[in-house]
Structure 1
Amino acid sequence: AMQTVLAASTQGSSISSDVFKTQGTVLEDSNPASILAGLEGRLKDSFPAPPEVSTQIKYVQKSMEEYLSPAFYMVPAIDSTKNNVIYINQGHMPDDISLFTTLAHEGYPGHLYQTVYYASRKPDPIRNLLNYGGYTEGWATYSEMMSYYYTPLTKEQATLMQKNTSVILGLYALADMGIHYDGWTLLDTVSFFRGYGITDTNTIEDIYDLIIADPANYLKYYIGYVEFLELKKDAMDKWGDGFTQKRFHKAVLDVGPASFDVIRKYIF
């Protein structure tokens, strides 16, 4: 079924039928600066206007590619948010759809946008000392998931890829809880992933080692993302005809990083 959907790609593009590996090449311009500018341009209808900032894109050194994330946003100093930096790890960037969605996560409407927008509201400085990973990574993951629908892919293809990414991240979060709360061994983890059709033992062992090294890391991303989806559902119910994407996004961004019970209290 996946192959059928992915085969109906836009003319001139090449989409892999193995969505667990490469997602495909469909962009006319895969320059990171162009992608970032395009993503910023998509904010107008659904997000509050971003402050004017400059963003420098840098690349991870070859010798460090094996050890670093696919990309990361360098959070600026609290008194200097005009200049921003995003690093890209080319060793972990197999195709331009991955690059596009990663830049949405790290840039617009993800980390960079959320950080500089909130800073532009001149929050009390103590807010910079408080760390809410579920909010920041949940927002960036929410942004990444939305960005699939900003690509040139058909809606059907974008939906498939977005759901696939969400499901895999959900499996990582479940494995995280299984390993650190229920005490899963490597054998338990292999059995769990094989139950979902992921059968490469070496890959599962890599995932296991990654989760062992950073307990609860995936929960920030996935549960944070799901919390934003639940907030959005509730906003649609409570606001009715008054609901708009921009109103919802402004409400959660204006509160800034906080626990989700506090966010819920303030936006409703």
Structure 2
Amino acid sequence: MFLAMMDWAPTFATVVAVPGWDDRLEDLSVDGQAALRARLADILSRVDGSDEDQVAKDVIRHQATSIINLIDARLVEHSVARGLNAPVAALLRMASQVDFSRRLHLVPRFLDQAAQRLRDTDRRPLRRHVQGGAAHVERFLASPKQEWEGDADLRPAFAKYREFLLSVEGRDDEHAGLCWLPDGEENYRKLVRDYTTAPYTPAELHQLGLDLIAGLHEEYATIGSRVWGTADVPEIFRRLRTDLLWANEDEMLTSAVETVARAEAEAPNWFGRLPRARCEVRFVPEMDRQAAAFAYYVDAALDGSRPGIYFVNPFNATDRSRTLSEVTAFHEAIPGHHFQLSIAAETSLSNLRKFAFIDSYIEGWGLYTERLADEMGLYSSDEARLGMLGLDAMRAGRLVVDTGLHALGWSRQQAVDYLRENTVMDASEIDSEVDRYIETPGQALAYMVGRLEIQRVRADAETKMGARFDVRAFHDLVLENGAVPLSTLGDLVTDWAGRA
């Protein structure tokens, strides 16, 4: 199964320094993906009779099924801007992060495959995404030749792809979600199940998001009263958008470095096992800043050749709230994804278990650590805690907006309006987030669903174990088993609590 996973995502294999895929690029062709799908279906047919343990079988089933469903949804045919499934944007984002020297000759074919899938599809991307994808490539073409390009002459192939994009007739913003595309409703139900690994329907997730947003308003009022003497949530939102902005880019980077260092110092009191890999903080490369998220993490290399890297995006820094700095660092770096991914990679688990793509676990842990950081005493102020609520509201809003777009038929503007009213994100962040949800259906649901489940199994263990509960041992258990479906995580914690 692991070989099939890396064939699906060979650039990721290079990111984590798993040898054997450094001369490969993702195969976007219909025939290539059909062949991989057949391999995965065969793996699924044999998993029950294998000698793998139950946890490994659960992971194999999830990985095979989720890749099959991504192939069947044909997301590559309508993801061209910045979504996680947008192949050309992903290539440009990762090219400067990994060794591309042995795969440079494949880039023109990769671009041709991306164009061919768009040319032959019955599910066009949004018009604005076509324009955004073309603009992203244009920025690359206008930039000086970059080190990763080596001696290869790749610019003509990118220029050809850009010209093709400009010829694509995209669909309008009123029909943004999967429900407007062939087989879209069924594809979305499968993606929801794969990304959440939980038995929620889109309607149930939509209502869960609405309920969580209502509860967050009460927390905003409580902390807002302490900070500004007002419990009026719209006024708190206004002040968060206008009063607490960065003075400059350097201030943003300094805050991130200090926050990561503070979390690293406190971590031994909450974790028995700490990663050997270090975590560095860097700015997002300049060419990627306009299209990139405001922060993200790249895994440390398995062979120790590269640390984990927490990237901070200074784009439009002086228009962004300082309050989001600490909570984002806790999520992306320490004790979030850096601990999660590095600890799993440093165990004796199989590569399948170390590197499984299970978003509800991965992103659920990241979101769990945002609240855990408050338990750990890591937030420096109530203003920073308002940032914690801000990202909570974003993730709760995702439940409402993702399901609204893809199951309820919302327009893009409906999604923008909802987030504007119920989160403190600025206009550019909301635009970026909504476009991501449109191009990566269901993925945004994983964060809050995963966090709620980790909190639930921890609370159950605390109740069952009483004074015997050790939070360091609980965190070690969750991280040392690698990424698993949420139901499997629940079984592991229940068994641990019973044995303890």
In structure 1, what is the equivalent of residue 304 of structure 2?
80
Q: Counterparts of 1:136-151 in structure 2 under 5 Å?
A: 136-148=362-374, 149-151=377-379
What SS does the corresponding residue of 2:315 show, helix, strand or coil?
helix
SS at match of 1:67: coil
Residue 474 of structure 2 aligns with which residue?
A: 248
Aligned to 2:356: 130
- Read off the aligned partner of 1:50 and give its amino acid letter: L
Query: In percent, how many aligned pairs have the same letter?
Result: 21
Give the match's secondary structure for 1:52.
coil
CA separation in 2, counterparts of 1:177 and 1:92?
29
Cα distance in 2 for partners of 1:55, 1:158 equals: 22
Pairing of 1:144-223 with structure 2 (within 5 A): 144-148=370-374, 149-154=377-382, 160-186=386-412, 188-189=414-415, 192-193=418-419, 196=422, 207-223=433-449
Task: Report Cα offsets for 1:233-267 as digits up to 9, x if no partner.
Answer: 21222222222322321221122210011111112
d(CA) in 2 for partners of 1:241, 1:81: 42
CA distance in 1, matches of 2:257, 2:459: 33
Check 1:215–1:237 CA distance in 2 against 1; reply closer, same or farther (3 A cut).
same
Match of 1:55 in 2: 279
- Residue aligned with 2:381, SS: coil
From 225, 229, 247, the equivalent of 2:451 is 225
Kept after mapping to 1: 8 A contact 2:355/2:482 = no
- Which secondary structure does the structure 2 equivalent of 1:91 belong to? coil
Alpha-carbon RMSD across the aligned residues, in angstroms, is 3.4
Deviations 1:40-79 (A, max 9, x none): 1111211223133333332123332110011221123334
Q: State the distance in 2 between where 1:202 and 1:85 align.
A: 25
Offset of 1:24 from its aligned partner? Answer: 6.2
Q: 2:256 aligns with which of 27, 32, 41?
A: 32
Show the 5 A alignment for 1:52-131: 52-80=276-304, 83-91=307-315, 94-131=320-357
- The alignment partner of 2:280 has SS state of strand
**In structure 2, how many angstroms separate the alpha carbons of the residues matched to 1:172 and 1:166?**
10
Aligned to 1:11: none
8 Å Cα contact 1:19-1:164 kept in structure 2:
no
Cα distance in 1, alignment partners of residues 480 and 423 from structure 2 = 41
The answer for unaligned runs of 5 or more in structure 2 is 1-220, 230-235, 495-500
Larger radius of gyration between Structure 1 and Structure 2 = 2
Q: 1:19 matched to which residue of 2?
A: 240
Q: What is the deviation of 1:191?
A: 6.4
- Give the direction of change, closer, same or farther, for the CA distance of 1:191–1:266 in structure 2 (3 Å limit): same
Greater share of residues in helix: 2
Deviation string, structure 1 residues 152-191 (Cα, Å, up to 9, x no partner): 214xx55554334312320122210121122222354366
Corresponding residue for 2:191?
Answer: none
From the superposition, tell whether residues 98 and 258 of structure 1 become closer, same or farther in structure 2 (CA, over 3 Å): same
CA distance in 1 between counterparts of 2:445 and 2:421 reads 21
Whole-Å Cα distance in 2 between the matches of residues 203 and 137 of structure 1? 19
- Give the Cα–Cα distance (whole angstroms) in 2 for the partners of residues 206 and 72 of structure 1: 14
Distance 1:75 1:179, change over 3 A: same
Q: Quick check: 1:69–1:89 contact (8 Å CA) kept in 2?
A: yes
